[in-house]
């Protein structure tokens, strides 16, 4: 069934469901690094892991692409944009950044995306944003700096920073495009169809970039080490495809539809905290005191931001979505 947000979808119960979906998405996305790292250490190139992730998810979502094939005719730009930015762009730019700057720096720059979303809403769409949402972004960014320990190994590399900023911009595209509704008189595109075609486009682009025919296929049929424990590689790949990609994208897009791009973006910052905690538990990468404190700050920032989401009937004087503005206009006309 197509998902179309009503006025109540972003107020009261809808906001609570949206926050829960955003947290689930952050948890699913956050688990991707823990599963991918043993595969990379076993001999797979990072881009090959990304290609397996996106291509596998595209195959899983293929029946939904067939079911919503009408989207190709009605919203081709949305599908291509989602595939290029939200799927292929984020992954390719992030791993390109990792080859030139420390992981912590790349992750922090990428998660400047919520601040960039606020900039988009304020200066491009020319809509006001709430002080709470802005404060949440500042706190989340500061907390992330502690979580990733940005001060360790910092070095200035212009190209690496540009790649990381590219990943942040692509992530902005993810949040903005996830919030796209229907045109006047047209029903909003089904988010599952958008994700399915986005993954197909992303898989096609990454096939060219990653060159999977050069992959070390022996890793796929063997076992890898996860903190001293042998785990079949296919199990980790299955987790990356089904949970860290399919579940993560579906819950992420649905959360943006129920909240707003800027609020869902700040809640998504929890991904860095979740990734760090999972690395501590499953990979033996221990947390330092600043990381624990930073994680707490990110939680506070995310809570403040999500609590600023407009309630039912709130006029469009705060940061919200196009759907909210349309509903407000209809109410005024009535």
Q: Where does the pLDDT of residue 141 fall: very low under 50, low under 70, confident under 90, or very high at 90 and above? A: confident
At 278 the three-state DSSP class reads helix
Nearest to 239 by CA among 265, 278, 203, 268: 278
pLDDT value, residue 7: 40
Distance CA 279, CA 288 (A): 13
Percent of the chain with pLDDT strictly greater than 90: 23
Decide: 183 and 7 in contact? Cβ < 8 Å.
no
The Cα–Cα gap between 120 and 129 comes to 10
- pLDDT for position 1: 31
- Closest by CA to 68, choosing from 195, 248, 215, is 195
First CA to last CA across the chain, in angstroms? 29
pLDDT at residue 52 tops 60: yes
Q: What is the pLDDT of residues 192-234, one digit of tens each?
A: 899 999 999 999 999 998 999 999 999 999 999 887 789 999 9
Its sign, for the CA torsion 28, 171, 129, 315, is: negative
Selection from 249, 285, 234 nearest residue 35 by Cα: 234
Please give the full DSSP string across 22-34, using - where no structure is assigned.
HHHHHHHHHHHHH
Residue found under tokens 């005719």: 73
**Cα distance between residue 194 and residue 90, in whole Å:** 17
Overall average pLDDT of the 64-91 stretch: 91
- Burial degree of 192 (CB within 10 A; 0-12, 13-18, 19+): buried
Q: What span, in angstroms and rounded, lies between the C-alpha atoms of 262 and 119?
A: 9
Task: Supply the pLDDT for residue 116.
Answer: 78
Check if the beta carbon of residue 95 is closer than 8 Å to that of residue 54: no
Does the pLDDT at position 325 exceed 80? no
Going along 187-243, which residue ranges are E strands?
A: 223-226, 229-232
Residues 6+ apart with CB under 8 A from 1: 190
- Is it the case that residue 150 has pLDDT exceeding 50? yes
Most confident of 1-10, 27-36, 149-158, 282-291: 27-36
């Amino acid at each position: 069934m197509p998902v179309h947000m009503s006025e109540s979808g972003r107020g009261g119960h809808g906001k609570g469901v949206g926050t829960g979906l955003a947290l689930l998405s952050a948890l699913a996305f956050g688990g991707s690094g823990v599963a991918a790292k043993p595969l990379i250490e076993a001999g797979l190139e990072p881009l090959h892991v990304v290609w397996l992730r996106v291509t596998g998810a595209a195959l899983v979502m293929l029946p939904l692409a067939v079911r919503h094939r009408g989207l190709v005719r009605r919203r081709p730009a949305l599908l291509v944009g989602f595939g290029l930015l939200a799927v292929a762009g984020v992954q390719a730019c992030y791993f390109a950044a990792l080859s030139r700057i420390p992981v912590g720096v790349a992750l922090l720059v990428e998660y400047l995306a919520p601040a960039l979303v606020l900039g988009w809403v304020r200066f491009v769409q020319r809509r006001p944003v709430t002080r709470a949402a802005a404060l949440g972004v500042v706190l989340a960014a500061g907390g992330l700096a502690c979580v990733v320990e940005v001060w360790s190994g910092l070095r200035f590399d212009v190209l690496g920073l540009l790649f990381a900023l590219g990943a942040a911009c692509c992530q902005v595209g993810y949040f903005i495009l996830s919030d796209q509704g229907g045109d006047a008189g047209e029903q909003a595109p089904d988010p599952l169809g958008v994700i399915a075609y986005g993954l197909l486009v992303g898989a096609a682009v990454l096939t060219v970039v990653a060159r999977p025919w050069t992959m070390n296929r022996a890793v796929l049929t063997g076992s890898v080490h996860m903190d001293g424990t042998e785990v079949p590689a296919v199990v980790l790949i299955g987790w990356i495809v089904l949970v860290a990609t399919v579940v993560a994208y579906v819950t992420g897009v649905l959360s943006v539809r129920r909240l707003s791009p800027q609020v869902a973006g700040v809640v998504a910052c929890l991904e860095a905290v979740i990734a760090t905690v999972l690395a501590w538990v499953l990979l033996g990468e221990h947390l330092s005191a600043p990381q624990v404190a930073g994680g707490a700050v990110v939680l506070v920032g995310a809570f403040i931001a999500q609590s600023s989401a407009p309630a039912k009937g709130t006029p469009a004087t705060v940061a919200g979505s196009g759907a909210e503005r349309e509903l407000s206009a209809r109410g005024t006309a009535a």
